[in-house]
Chains A and B, each alone.
Chain A
């Protein structure tokens, strides 16, 4: 087996608590499909037959009842972990270490993309890399986000990513939060790669191809708990650490424990194929080198290599903020050719519906309504003379007559009273908006949510 897919679906959605306090993030509807359907669909399209899904019990229950998840033809091996959120992504990998028998492809449940996965995997295969990941140029979100007061915060923590001249080899990765004074780059990196491009406007898609040796390394090294936050920077740094320490540290009796653990971890991370000597012979005889101008061999003799594929043409979104969620809902209909209107929806004839709207199953849309650029969930009832524009309406919502909803997000099972006028609002789960209410740019959630801190 070449690659095993692992879907991380236990994340809490800490940056969009208004949406996730009732519905767990993997099951948030986007275009009337649960969020985790999108990475599953991506994996299915490229040809995976089995996926290990790491998630919580609650999500597992919801998955078993969801229609779209049941349509997924792959075998889903669901592993449940505790919900308390102490488990990082790397801890989750450690948890399933027994199941992993080959190199893994880790995907996050909030990734919506149509990138050609073979580009990432080809880097992983061709260069015998330890890590290959996907990044994308960030797009500005243009939609107004409900509940956001004032301009969008610009000081989101930036990621600094350094790549070599070809744009494929990953040389440097750090988050702004970790850099105290400035960006410092080791001399060893500069000596080997004198030309480095540092990019900041990239979005990490959280799609990683990792060698099996990395998972074994994680089981030994229990201090690493997050793939993105700790494991990745560690791997990127380790590409350039000296490997000659190994024989010395064995002889030196005054070993510091740090050095010992460094060398042993180096050994684990080294690519150990069964016929190392033949591969070396082939590489030695091959007249190819990945860089020119200095006297070192291909890859500078380094065995640990990290690669990144930066895409700017494909769609690539991570739905971890409210703005991203709204943007994703806008773009979801473009991702598949299914008809926007579910066949079981009952839509009266005097309704004006734009072609970019999605209507879910068992909906009831009455006369004289106008629905533009919106997503309507399953089993929603919309009465007469309602105007819905640029909104996301989840499942089981009832909207009474004469309402005017613009740019809002209405969560499941909410009831909007007659004649309400909502602009850029977020109505939480099961909330009830009284009739003739006029709300603008507000987040209306239940009091029980306010108590959770």
Chain B
């Protein structure tokens, strides 16, 4: 136990020195306390004025460790505001602090640290015990984040305006030998934390042509993503898994490596590359998690050929179950909800909704469809084509006309890019608008989504995490005139081309998944059940 009789600074300083010089072993608690105090003193150097009031005598050789720089006249009575034992990321306010430390202190800190290490080595028989409870009795003045053992970090793709994060990303990409894609154009300030790329400067510009670092199938896939040839959540996942199948087929385990570990490491740069081409979707993220799990679960004594064929069959099963069969099941449930004489409104081009409607039509249900479309993607044209090809009577409007045609509509079917854990639906930008207007008109809104798109993220607005598409897509040429072609020259003019938005669960009446028809708020239940299954 700590001796409470210890008094103030000058003595304590001598005490420690004496202890070190004598080779007397510092108790483990004392060492810990020393460390804590040093950290605290570092903090105090900035908060000189503030911290004075919060001092509390700790029963430990307080104050100046030997490292105290002589420039510091006022010895700090070591406030016991000790941080938790776990090394916690220093709060943001401390970030600028270390920079102003005088250079001298670094050398002295080093000396002190070395001395401490030597004394640690000298006292090898660790007196375990009261260190834990000791620390926990510390004053709860520590910042709240330090009490939490796990710190939640923001994903790096939504911190583009933080130069440190960008630098870290650049370093990571450099290590994986993947070129960094540069942002393009002026970004609207509300979205300056997101990437904005231009389609005219593809990532392949900086790659060597017979690509050796990245598998050709992945380069092709990245190109198709960035040019929009493969678009839509399901299509992207299927294409991703197809490319991974080719990667696995062409893979050979190097000597002294295990397939289960090496293949996962091989896939990491490919995933970074694809992320650079176009940010990964939630469905792709889940597919990647599945593959990584499957690869790591391969027993080490499995032969390479066997392992590879097992992986390939697993991937095929995944696609078959989660995408193809799920679509069939969802169609079956949805057809129960479509009646004769219905007028169904759809937005954009969702492969699942198109499939449902075509299946319903084949079952001879008499209904008609209103396709709502929006610029700049104008995906509704493609949905219109597929539905009309299937024989369905369709009407086509732009989103600005939605409130005019809603009185005619009996149901709204929407597709989803992802379903978030708090019940919000993330889908193409404009979906929340449709849902809002439908709610105002008391028209039921049904969202169709496979369970593999359920994601554990929580989002309540469309700003925090989104995707910015190429701003030049907004520029249109009419009668030979392009009004916005010099938009770079105009100061403070930003073109914003959002891709996704989130719809609150209040506007969604039903979510149709292959597990059945659930309310929006049951999404976390499904997620929990899925996790338990795995």
Q: Do A and B come from one complex?
A: yes
Q: Is A274 an interface residue (CB 8 A)?
A: yes
Question: Counting CB contacts under 8 A, is B216 at the interface?
Answer: yes
User: Is there an interface contact between B209 and A287, defined as CB atoms closer than 8 Å?
Assistant: no
Question: Do B239 and A122 have beta carbons less than 8 Å apart?
Answer: no
Given A285-B351, A295-B389, answer yes or no on A46-B245 (Cβ-Cβ < 8 Å): no
A126 with B229, Cβ < 8 A, contacts A278-B245, A285-B235 known: yes
Chain A: how many interface residues by the 8 Å CB criterion? 34
Contact call B205/A287, Cβ cutoff below 8 A:
no
Quick check: is B230 within 8 A (CB to CB) of the other chain? yes
Chain B CB within 8 A of A348 CB:
no
A45, B342: Cα distance in complex, Å: 62
In the complex the two chains form, is B202's CB within 8 Å of A278's CB?
A: no
Asked whether, in the complex, the Cβ of B209 is within 8 Å of the Cβ of A117, the reply is: yes
CB distance from B207 to the nearest CB of A (A): 8
Please name all residues of chain A whose beta carbon is closer than 8 Å to the beta carbon of B216 when the two chains form the complex: 1-2, 125
- Tell me whether A122 and B223 are in contact (CB under 8 A): yes
Q: Does A279 contact B (CB under 8 A)?
A: yes
Q: Decide if A240 is an interface residue (CB 8 Å cutoff).
A: no
Interface residues of A in 273-316 (CB under 8 A from B): 274-275, 278-279, 281-289, 292, 295
Is the C-beta of A121 less than 8 angstroms from some C-beta in chain B? yes
Chain B interface main SS type: helix
Inter-chain contacts of A285 with B (CB < 8 A): 232, 234-235, 238, 351
**Max chain B Cβ within 10 angstroms of own Cβ: one of A5, A128, A282:** A282
For the complex, what is the distance from the CA of A1 to the CA of B209, rounded to whole Å? 11
Q: Report B234-263 CB contacts with A as 1/0, cut-off 8 Å.
A: 111011011001100100000000000000
For the complex, what is the distance from the CA of A128 to the CA of B388, rounded to whole Å? 28
Contacts of A288 in B (CB 8 A): 228-231, 382
Smallest CB-CB separation from A116: which chain B residue?
B205
Please measure, in the bound complex, the distance between the C-alpha atom of A118 and the C-alpha atom of B229, giving whole angstroms.
18
Across the interface, which residues of B come within 8 angstroms of A126, CB to CB?
220, 223-224, 227, 229
Most chain A beta-carbon contacts within 10 A, residue among B202, B210, B234 = B210
Interface flag for A217 (CB, 8 Å): no
Contact check, B229 vs A275: say whether CB atoms are below 8 A apart: no
Please name the residue on chain A nearest to B234 by beta carbon.
Answer: A285
A48 is an interface residue with CB less than 8 A from chain B: yes
Asked if A289 contacts B238 (CB within 8 A), the reply is no
Given that A278-B238, A278-B245, A282-B238 are contacting pairs, would A287 and B383 also be in contact in the complex, using a CB cutoff of 8 Å?
A: yes
- A23 CA to B202 CA in the complex, in Å? 42
A-B contact count (CB 8 A): 108
Alpha-carbon distance between A4 and B216 when the two chains are bound, in angstroms: 13
A3 CB within 8 Å of chain B: yes
Question: Cβ of B42 < 8 Å from any Cβ of A?
Answer: no
**1/0 contact trace for B318-331 toward A, CB 8 Å?**
01000010000000
Distance to closest chain B CB from A301 (angstroms) = 12
Q: Which of B202, B210, B211, B382 lies in contact with A289, CB distance below 8 A?
A: B382
A287 near B235: Cβ-Cβ < 8 Å: yes
Interface status of B208 (Cβ within 8 A of chain A): yes
Measured between alpha carbons, how far is A2 from B209 in the docked complex, in Å?
Answer: 8
CA A38 to CA B245, docked complex, whole Å: 38
B349 interface residue per 8 A CB criterion: yes
Does the CB pair A282–B239 fall under 8 Å?
Answer: yes
Bound together, the chains give a CA A3 to CA B204 distance in angstroms of 14
- Give the contacting residue for B209; candidates A47, A127, A279, A292; CB below 8 A: A47
A278–B229 alpha-carbon span in the complex (Å): 15
When the two chains form their complex, are residues A128 and B220 in contact, meaning their CB atoms are under 8 A apart?
A: yes
Complex formed: what's the CA distance from A118 to B239 in Å? 22
Does B242 contact A282, Cβ atoms closer than 8 Å?
A: yes
Q: Is the CB of B232 within 8 A of A286?
A: yes
**Interface pair A2/B231, CB less than 8 Å apart:** no
Q: Are A286 and B230 in contact (CB under 8 A)?
A: yes
- Bound-complex Cα distance A295 to B388 (A): 8
In the assembly, what is the distance between CA of A352 and CA of B230, in Å?
61
Question: Which residues in window 194-220 of B have CB below 8 A to A?
Answer: 202, 204-205, 207-212, 216, 219-220
Chain A, Cβ-Cβ closest to B315: A278
Residues of A near B245 (CB, < 8 A) are 275, 278
Known contacts A1-B210, A121-B204, A285-B351: does B249 contact A274 (CB below 8 Å)?
A: yes
Distance (Å) between the CB of A111 and the closest chain B CB?
A: 15
Task: Enumerate chain A residues within 8 angstroms of B46, measured Cβ to Cβ.
Answer: none
- A289 and B230 contacting across the interface, CB-CB below 8 Å: no
B381 within 8 A of A: yes
Taking a contact as CB atoms under 8 Å apart, the answer to whether A48 and B210 are in contact is: yes
Determine whether B167 belongs to the interface, using a CB cutoff of 8 Å to chain A: no
CB distance from B413 to the nearest CB of A (A): 15
B 365-402 to A, binary, CB cutoff 8 A, 1 in contact else 0: 00000000000000101110100110000000000000
Encode A105-128 as 1/0 by CB contact (under 8 A) with B: 100000000001110011001111
With a CB–CB cut-off of 8 A, which chain B residues contact A282? 230, 235-236, 238-239, 242
B389: A residues at CB distance < 8 A: 295
Contacts A125-B220, A274-B246, A274-B249 given; does A286 touch B235 at CB 8 Å? yes
Residues of A within 8 A of B212 (CB): 47, 49
Q: In the complex, how many angstroms separate the beta carbon of A271 from the nearest chain B beta carbon?
A: 12
Question: Chain B nearest CB: distance from A192 CB in Å?
Answer: 15
Closest to A287 in B: B349
For the complex, give the distance between the alpha carbons of A46 and B209 in Å.
6
A287 to B210, CA, bound (A): 29
Q: Would A3 and B209 count as touching, CB distance under 8 A?
A: yes
| Docked-complex contact B231 and A287, CB < 8 angstroms | yes
- The listed residue (A118, A278, A281) touching B205 by CB distance below 8 A is A118
Q: Are B242 and A275 in contact (CB under 8 A)?
A: yes
Contact yes or no, A47 B246, CB < 8 A? no
Residue of chain A at shortest CB distance from B380: A287
The chain B residue sitting closest to A126, CB to CB, is B223
Within the complex, what minimum Cβ distance (angstroms) separates B237 from chain A? 9
Considering the complex, which residues of chain B in the window 162-214 have a beta carbon less than 8 Å from any beta carbon of chain A? 202, 204-205, 207-212
Q: Which of B336-379 contact A (CB under 8 A)?
A: 348-349, 351, 379
Q: Which residue of B lies closest to A127 (CB)?
A: B229
Nearest CB of B to A399, in Å? 43
Chain A min CB distance to B467 (Å): 16
Q: Provide the bound-state CA to CA distance between A80 and B70, in Å.
A: 81
Q: Please measure, in the bound complex, the distance between the C-alpha atom of A2 and the C-alpha atom of B218, giving whole angstroms.
A: 11
Inside 8 A of B349's CB, which chain A residues have their CB? 287
A-chain residues with CB within 8 Å of residue B223 when the two chains form the complex: 122, 125-126
**Cβ of A72 to closest chain B Cβ, rounded Å:** 16
Question: Chain B residues near A117 (CB, 8 Å)?
Answer: 209
In the complex, residue of chain A having the shortest beta-carbon distance to the beta carbon of B249: A274
Q: How far is the CB of A275 from chain B (nearest CB, A)?
A: 6
What residues on A are CB-neighbors of B207 within 8 Å? 47, 118
Q: Which residue of A lies closest to B324 (CB)?
A: A281
Give every chain A residue within 8 A of B319 (Cβ-Cβ): 278, 281
* A51 → chain B closest CB, angstroms: 11
Q: In the bound complex, what is the Cα–Cα distance between A286 and B202 (angstroms)?
A: 20
**Nearest chain B residue, comparing its CB with the CB of A286:** B235
CA gap between A59 and B376 in the complex, in Å: 56
Residues in A with CB closer than 8 Å to B235 are 282-287
Complex: A275 Cα to B238 Cα, angstroms? 11
Instruction: Closest A residue to B228 by CB, please name it.
Output: A288
Give 27 CB contacts A-B under 8 Å.
A3-B209, A4-B210, A46-B209, A48-B209, A49-B210, A116-B205, A118-B207, A118-B209, A122-B223, A125-B220, A126-B224, A127-B229, A275-B246, A281-B238, A282-B242, A283-B235, A284-B351, A285-B232, A285-B235, A286-B229, A286-B239, A287-B382, A287-B383, A288-B229, A288-B231, A292-B381, A295-B389
What are the 3 tightest A-B residue pairs by CB atom distance, in nearest-first order? A47-B208, A286-B235, A287-B349
Beyond A118-B202, A275-B242, A281-B319, 17 additional pairs, beta carbon < 8 A:
A2-B219, A47-B209, A118-B209, A125-B216, A125-B219, A125-B223, A126-B227, A278-B238, A278-B319, A279-B239, A282-B238, A283-B230, A285-B232, A286-B229, A286-B239, A287-B351, A288-B231
